[in-house]
Amino acid sequence: MQIAIVGLTGSGKTTVFNTLTRGHAETGGYGGVTMNVGVVKVPDERLDRLAEIFKPKKIVHADVTYVDLPAPPPSTEGHVGTEELPAEHLARLRDSDALLHVVRAFDDPSHPHAEGSVDPARDLERLDLEFILADLSMADRRIERLSTSGRHGTQAERESNEREERILRRLKEALEAGSPIRDVELEPEDEKQIRGFRFLSQKPVLVLLNVGENDLPAAPALVSNIAGSYRHDKALIDALSARIEMELGELEPDEAAVFMEELGIAESGLDRVIGLSYRLLGLVSFLTAGPDEVRAWPIVDGSSAVDAAGVIHTDLARGFIRAETVAYEDLLELGSMAEAKKAGRLRSEGKTYRVRDGDVIEILFSK
Ligand SMILES: Nc1nc2c(ncn2[C@@H]2O[C@H](COP(=O)(O)OP(=O)(O)OP(=O)(O)O)[C@@H](O)[C@H]2O)c(=O)[nH]1
Ligand SMILES: [Mg+2]
């Protein structure tokens, strides 16, 4: 799972990246051009509790890859800024499963905003527009192609092309009206047909308002203000102070706890961001536990037991017999697999069982 950190120049992308990854990439580049890539473990206390029961050799968290990308150059007549990003950056952006859009909401006289004022709603729309223009340009090129050479080929090919063109024309209409593709309702078949384009405005987005260190108490009001006018599908809005989070990340855990109490912060904003990213992607975790490892596995909510088996290994899906399943809470309450079984809480589930968040699963399979 990969999330692209995007935003206008100087919005705090690299600061957010550093705090998420506990990294030290250079910030304050003023239009930096480097890309940073880092892997972050998804915090999950359940793994620690399970480790107390199973005493495994290792604990493996689910992880998310974050990519910190430079801001795209602004589009001008005849130029789509995003398409002018280096190919490697653009590929990373397109390959990402979701966007983390960092928007500047902090005021800092020593770093004046290029536009002369801090206006998160304006900046949010500005970058959205860049991605809408990039998608529009791609859709236009493909429609042009389909309406010429797409008329040839076998009947099946022609029908497929016509269908694709119909979908793209719908998307084009929405994009021209300023709507991101995530707002367009698509049948699963249509969605499948356009998946290959990896449209940017189709990706789920977490908008992160980067507020000043003194503005944290006002952050919830800012979030609801922005949320009120930002009515899009597959979009979440949250706020944090990247500066504070970065400082918190550099402290020992007990010092950080004291600092958080002083600031009146209940939880680390970053844990929340990681959790929200997970939710945004529609992911839940199932767990496996044994003497070797205790592990969390990300899976799309709604997946079946056989899908879960396949996440672990394709052999497990192929030879699937059943999934011995116990809810994490039950296991914790009863203290062991054996006790869970005695109490009738260990269930034998078949292929089509819908896996729930926190299910502790053992897959039985034939080789
Ligand atoms: N006061 C304050 N400054 C911040 C905050 N977050 C970032 N900054 C500063 O703003 C400047 C830009 O931050 P970066 O994280 O480099 O921003 P960026 O979006 O990666 O910038 P580019 O990659 O150059 O587009 C740096 O000098 C940061 O220290 C914040 O929450 N408060
Ligand atoms: Mg940067």
How many A from CA of 30 to the centre of ligand 2?
A: 8
Q: Is 187 helix (H, G, I), strand (E, B) or coil?
A: coil
Strand arrangement of the beta sheet that strand 235-240 belongs to: 36-41, 63-68, 2-6, 98-105, 205-211, 235-240
Q: How far is CA 191 from CA 173, 197, 265, in A?
A: 16, 10, 41
Does ligand 1 come within 6 angstroms of the Cβ of 81?
Answer: no
Both structure tokens of 303: 């997946």
Best residue for ligand 1 mutational test, from 9, 15, 127, 241 (most atoms within 8 Å of Cβ) = 15
Both structure tokens of 24: 């030290």
Number of Cβ atoms within 10 Å of the Cβ of 277: 25
Residue 118 and residue 100: Cα distance in Å, rounded?
Answer: 19
What pLDDT does residue 147 have? Answer: 87
How many A from CA of 11 to the centre of ligand 1?
A: 6
Q: If you count DSSP H runs as helices and E runs as strands, how many of each does the chain have, helices first?
A: 14, 12
What is the mean pLDDT for each group of 10 consecutive residues in the chain (367 residues)? Answer: 94 92 74 84 92 95 93 92 93 95 94 91 97 97 88 85 94 97 94 94 96 89 94 92 87 88 80 86 93 94 94 95 96 92 95 96 93
Residue 70 and residue 130: Cα distance in Å, rounded?
Answer: 13
Q: Residue 354 forms beta bridges with which residues?
A: 304
Residue 67 and residue 4: Cα distance in Å, rounded?
Answer: 5
Number of Cβ atoms within 10 Å of the Cβ of 74: 14
How many A from CA of 35 to the centre of ligand 1?
A: 15
Four-residue CA torsion sign, 203, 207, 208, 210: positive
Q: Rounded to the nearest 10 degrees, what angle do helices 120-146 and 219-229 cross at? A: 30
Residue 194 and residue 182: Cα distance in Å, rounded?
Answer: 13
Q: What is the CA radius of gyration of the chain?
A: 23
Q: Is 273 helix (H, G, I), strand (E, B) or coil?
A: helix
DSSP string, 141-180: HHHHHHTTGGG-S-HHHHHHHHHHHHHHHHHHHHHHTT--
Does ligand 1 come within 6 angstroms of the Cβ of 108?
Answer: yes
Atom from ligand 1 closest to the CA of residue 108: 1
Both structure tokens of 241: 């102070």
What pLDDT does residue 29 have? Answer: 63
Residue 141 and residue 79: Cα distance in Å, rounded?
Answer: 14
Number of Cβ atoms within 10 Å of the Cβ of 108: 13
Does ligand 1 come within 6 angstroms of the Cβ of 242?
Answer: yes
What pLDDT does residue 30 have? Answer: 58
- Residue 214's Cβ-count burial label (10 Å; 0-12, 13-18, 19+) is exposed
Is residue 286 within 8 Å of 327, Cβ to Cβ? no
Identify the nearest ligand to the CA of 13 by its number. Answer: 1
Residue 16 backbone dihedrals phi, psi, to 5 degrees = -65, -45
The pTM score is: 0.89
How many A from CA of 12 to the centre of ligand 1?
A: 4
- Nearest C-alpha neighbor of 245 from the set 279, 207, 213: 213
How many A from CA of 15 to the centre of ligand 1?
A: 6
Give the DSSP H or E segment for 47: helix 45-54
Does ligand 1 come within 6 angstroms of the Cβ of 14?
Answer: yes
Residue 20 and residue 15: Cα distance in Å, rounded?
Answer: 9
Is residue 36 within 8 Å of 12, Cβ to Cβ? no
Four-residue CA torsion sign, 266, 267, 273, 275: negative
- Nearest C-alpha neighbor of 106 from the set 122, 124, 125, 119: 119
